[in-house]
Amino acid sequence: MAYRDLREFIARLEKNKRLVRITAPVSQDLEITEIADRVMKGTTNQNVALLFENVREQTLPVVIGLFGTEERMAWALGVDQLDDLNTKLSEFISMDMPRGLLEKAQRGLEMLNGLRHTEPRYVTRGACQEIVMDPPNLNALPILKCWQHDGGRYITLPSVFSRDPKTGKRNVGMYRLQVFDEQTLGMHWQRHKGGAEHQRVAQDVGAASPKIPVAVALGGDPAIIWAGSAPLPPDIDEMMLAGWLRGKSVDLVKCVSQPIEVPADAEIVIEGYVDPREQKLEGPFGDHTGYYSNADYYPVMHVTAITHRRDAIYPTTIVGKPPMEDAWMGKATERLFLPLIKMFQSEVVDINMPPEGAFHNLVIVSIKKRYPGQPRKVMYGLWGMGLMMLTKTIVVVDEDVNVHNLSQVAFEVLANYDPLRDVQIVSGPTDDLDHASLEKNFGGKLGIDATRKTERDPGPHQKWPQEIEMSSDIRALVDSRWKEYGLQ
């Protein structure tokens, strides 16, 4: 399902009572954070998206919490529940090929149909350019100051568009931007990310001016917004993913001041360039780790134009101590990418990256164990897959363990592991935001093999006992007699 733009999604949320309009005047500095945080943490009766219509000293309204529940995240990507993404992608890559010829032909047609829509379509006019702000002024946007010790105001839900200076391939990433002044932003693309790679290429090419054009789109079909957060392999266009998810090409329009394209139906577009030779202290920022990320040097984006719709809505989010709405954005990624992980690690049954682990701190994976050393093989495999390289802890459990049930996982791990035999400590790249790692971007990683040990497992272990389980005939008997016992 394709939403034409953000407001079509907002209308759906509102119609289904998943969005509340707030007319009371509020401040963009901290007040919206406190309201949204309470709603996202579930401490209020309603977990809904919030549309603040009256932001003090601002003209544009603010929407927050678009992806704040599993349901809203699923609706945003055109499915009813996030697990449908898993099914959708496995069907698409046809891991279980159909048997019959007719079935195959039909699948082939469906796939082609699905692919046809993935290429973006270039259009000449876009609603996002109805107004060209003159002169461009970031302070005219209701950008939030999220937490009190933040270094400033931050754009938190952007789609940052850039192109590889050598190949011209597009990348879209969700990277926060700090407002330095009316026309400059801090560009927080971390070193492992697509935008940072474009910057490095620009420096390597050695052109007289290595500046790279960048555009920041805010809004558009929520599938477009989310796609920027998806950890796609380099050189795979996030706009293709968005097109595939929505079953319709993304319309892109040329920027007014930079040679780069943006979603035509976005709400707001900030155009500019990054000069790879320039860096500025960015941060601190109350981050999704639950801590302030330390101030550090990041590139600077110089704004050359701001365009927007006549009645633009400014979309944003807050991150902080989990759970926040980005937990659901991460869940969508986890569900969608599971079939890809399974393609390369066929023993993988399921994966959970719980919000408590802030994406990269904990991955729980269940596997079908068939040979000695397989849990270790899965750990190394995951540590070698794209951004999974940043994972600090990997816990491997048997196929029948429900990885989404943290209580069951804790039980299995604690019951089944011996620290001398089952713990693997390695080192490798760590997330920019990992304040605990030995040094920035490098540190230790822990793998725990919590599978039950059989005679095929290497290393010493005792005779593995049976887990307690009642026989099915007695369970059925008690089920059928339950009412007789007089228990609820």
Chain residues binding Mn ion by CB under 5 A are 171, 194, 232
User: According to the binding rule CB under 6 A, does residue 82 interact with ligand FMN?
Assistant: no
The DSSP element (H or E) to which 329 belongs, if any, is helix 326-344
Looking only at residues 291 through 350 of this chain, which bind ligand FMN when binding is defined by CB under 6 A? Answer: 317, 319, 326, 329
Binding at 190: pick from Mn ion, ligand FMN, none (beta carbon under 5-8 Å per type): ligand FMN
- 249: number of Cβ within 10 Å: 20
CA distance 241 to 119: 9
**Length of the chain measured in residues:** 488
User: According to the binding rule CB under 6 A, does residue 194 interact with ligand FMN?
Assistant: yes
What binding mask, one character per residue, do residues 169-188 give for ligand FMN by CB under 6 A, x or -?
--x-xxxx-----------x
* Among 5, 221, 287, 350, the one annotated catalytic: 287
- The answer to whether 196 and 253 are in contact (CB under 8 A) is no
Binding at 117: pick from Mn ion, ligand FMN, none (beta carbon under 5-8 Å per type): none
User: According to the binding rule CB under 6 A, does residue 199 interact with ligand FMN?
Assistant: no
Which single residue brings its beta carbon nearest to Mn ion? 194
Binding at 331: pick from Mn ion, ligand FMN, none (beta carbon under 5-8 Å per type): none
Binding at 317: pick from Mn ion, ligand FMN, none (beta carbon under 5-8 Å per type): ligand FMN
User: According to the binding rule CB under 6 A, does residue 229 interact with ligand FMN?
Assistant: yes
User: DSSP characters for 81-102?
Assistant: STHHHHHHHHHHTTSS--SSHH
Pairing assessment for the beta strands 268-282 and 442-449 based on DSSP bridges: unpaired
Q: Is residue 37 annotated as a catalytic residue, yes or no? A: no
User: According to the binding rule CB under 6 A, does residue 412 interact with ligand FMN?
Assistant: no
Partnered with residue 132 across adjacent β-strands are 307
Pairing assessment for the beta strands 62-64 and 212-218 based on DSSP bridges: unpaired
Residue 108 vs 234, nearer CB to ligand FMN:
234
The DSSP element (H or E) to which 226 belongs, if any, is helix 222-227
Residue 141 vs 327, nearer CB to ligand FMN:
327
CA distance 91 to 111: 9
Which residue bears the tokens 């050598």? 166
**Cα 57 from chain centroid (whole Å):** 32
Please state the closest distance from residue 106 (CB atom) to Mn ion, in A.
Answer: 32
Residues in contact with ligand FMN by CB under 6 A are 156, 171, 173-176, 188-190, 193-195, 228-231, 317, 319, 326, 329, 387
Give the residue numbers marked as catalytic: 287
